[in-house]
Structure 1
Amino acid sequence: MRKVELIRVESTDEATLGGLLVDGKSICWTLEEPWRENQQNISCIPVGRYPLKLEYSPSKRCELWTVKDVPGRSYVRIHKGNTVDDTEGCPLTGTKPGYLEGKRAVLGSREAFNDFMAAMSGSREGIIEISSFSAMNF
């Protein structure tokens, strides 16, 4: 079972940027919606610890890691995309942060997604711990 950490490092009213680690190894950047009281499809996931399962996504037509047991939410999946227009309330993967058409974005999403899937290979279940970076951590 893999341990995944999503550590948020930037949160604005436009987007939430973070880093994704698998078993302690930095894998890629993430982009999520800003915090909007955990509303389905338009908010980032609440800070916490959740089960992860590899499941088939009919809409994306492939297997994706699904964040399970998010209160009041379903189908929260880690997938490819660049800006909050692509998130649907899910974390997106990217090789680096940047901007696209003036919007906060993650770039190199396909490559980062492939890196994440490779890091998770051989497993169908895991745990994801979502936290926010703070100067208080030091």
Structure 2
Amino acid sequence: MKLILERIASDVESTLGKLYLEDVDGNGRAFLCYVCEDEFRKEKVPGETRIPAGKYRLVLKRIGDSRFDAPYIQKFGRAFHKGMIQLLDVPGFAEILIHVGNTEGDTAGCLLIGNGWARDGQGHYMVTQSASAYRRIYPMIAEAIPCEIVTLAIADLDGRGGEAA
């Protein structure tokens, strides 16, 4: 499974992107959801910087290895939650996850997914209907991870950060 995140807009506090699923033949893709991240910075500030563009493998963290597990089991149910989705080998970062949240204040470098997007009270990008998007997207990724290599390619199309993945 190949996922593609295109960063399409950013400001001094946040980044907005679109997440796609590439079809098996690589001839097309389907839009999945919007993504909110921290802002681009040339020099990393812990908890305040988006990850570099590139290609990353996705894995499921073992239940109990993330502070998110207990709340996610409570919110989504034990049958639903198989562990947090983690991006591996992100240069200069650790514990980068895909999870629920709305604004850059809800992330420390992780990817927040939502069905829609808006601007918050300060005019920064945010995602909406995050839990709904998570319920829709998580099972597809979580079920694929044990069966195949799942990757996420991130491309900076917002004019910041450098090159496309």
| TM-score w.r.t. length of structure 2 | 0.74
Per-residue CA shift, 1:94-122, capped at 9, x if unaligned? 11111344343110000111121133242
SS at match of 2:144: coil
SS at match of 1:46: coil
The one-letter code of the counterpart of 1:34 is E
Question: For 1:76-95, what aligned pairs fall within 5 Å after superposition?
Answer: 76-95=96-115
Structure 2: distance between partners of 1:72 and 1:33 = 15
**1:5 correspondence with 2:20:** no
Identity of aligned residues (%): 28
User: Quick check: which one's strand share is greater?
Assistant: 1
Matching residue of 2:87: 67
SS at match of 2:139: helix
Matching residue of 2:125: 104
Report the aligned-residue RMSD: 2.0
SS at match of 1:122: helix
Structure 1: distance between partners of 2:101 and 2:51 = 17
- Structure of larger gyration radius: 2
Q: Is the 8 A contact 1:22 1:120 kept in 2?
A: no
Matching residue of 2:56: 50
**Structure 1, 30-39 or 70-79: larger mean CA deviation:** 30-39
**Structure 1, 117-126 or 89-98: larger mean CA deviation:** 117-126
The one-letter code of the counterpart of 1:50 is Y
Q: Is the 8 A contact 1:96 1:107 kept in 2?
A: yes
From 28, 33, 36, give the equivalent of 1:31: 36
Q: Is the 8 A contact 1:40 1:72 kept in 2?
A: no
Structure 2: distance between partners of 1:65 and 1:114 = 13
Ranges in structure 2 where 5+ consecutive residues have no aligned partner: 23-28, 73-82
Structure 2: distance between partners of 1:73 and 1:110 = 25
Q: Is the 8 A contact 2:7 2:158 kept in 1?
A: no
Q: Is the 8 A contact 2:8 2:157 kept in 1?
A: yes
Q: CA deviation at 1:87?
A: 0.8
The one-letter code of the counterpart of 2:111 is P
**1:117 correspondence with 2:138:** yes
Q: Is the 8 A contact 2:10 2:158 kept in 1?
A: no
Q: What is the aligned residue count?
A: 135
